[in-house]
Homo-oligomer: A and B are copies of this chain.
Amino acid sequence: MTSNGPIILPEPTLRRLPWYLAHVEILRSRNIDFVSTTQISRALNVDASQIAKDLSFLNLKGKTRIGYEVDALFHTLSDFLGFKTLHKAYVFGAGSLGKALMHDSGLSNYGLDIIAGFDINPDKVNTSVGNVPIYHIDTLSEVMHANPATIAILTVPVEAAQDTADIAIGEGIRAIWNFTPYRVKVAEGIVMTNTSIYAHLALIYNRLNADL
């Protein structure tokens, strides 16, 4: 069990906590020692009572008038969010986006350790991107045995998304981070998160367009 313990946080709280962390990082870089919920509230446009409630999940309580200690808030937040522990992950699909994620070493600052990639293209298999080796998906079972991961990052073509997720879960993967626009279905107990970059692009284009 890691330090954040088995508390299931509501999704909206989990969305807001990284905002607080980002704000506290800025205060730290400015050598500010204390911050109140009122100050965070003003900076982020989130209700102060909501902030206090979110932070109470972390057993953090501010002191009257002084507020929270910035340094403690920074460490507790990043620990609680899981950013201080490395979580092993595989990337499935060493295409353009998959390779980009393998190149993004900054993710390790947020607790993500990409240790292998998988593909079926013979031109890609047995090469590497940065320090990340790419294997054929048929060898998943062996790699999982030798150097197991819990998270599968899905960047395969849409038509391969469901099958790839099924194979990964069959080998013991417990969380899918889905970057494909396909709505992958998983059994209960498997963690499933979608990062819908194409939907975000569509939103940007539509709003830009509507604005003309």
B198/A175 in contact, CB under 8 A: no
Query: Is A104's CB within 8 Å of the partner chain B?
Result: yes
Contacts beyond the supplied A7-B206, A22-B183, A96-B107: 9 A-B pairs with Cβ under 8 Å? A1-B212, A8-B210, A15-B203, A82-B202, A83-B202, A107-B201, A175-B204, A191-B207, A195-B200
C-alpha gap A81/B189 in the complex (Å): 34
Choose one: B4, B99, B201; the contact of A111 (CB below 8 Å).
B201
Q: How many copies does the complex hold?
A: 2
**Nearest-Cβ distance from residue A200 to partner chain B, whole angstroms:** 5
Question: Per-residue 0/1 for A1-14: is the Cβ within 8 Å of any B Cβ (1 yes, 0 no)?
Answer: 11011111101001
Query: Is A151's CB within 8 Å of the partner chain B?
Result: yes
Which stretch (A23-31, A59-67, A118-126, A139-147) binds chain B?
A23-31
Choose one: B8, B189, B204; the contact of A177 (CB below 8 Å).
B204
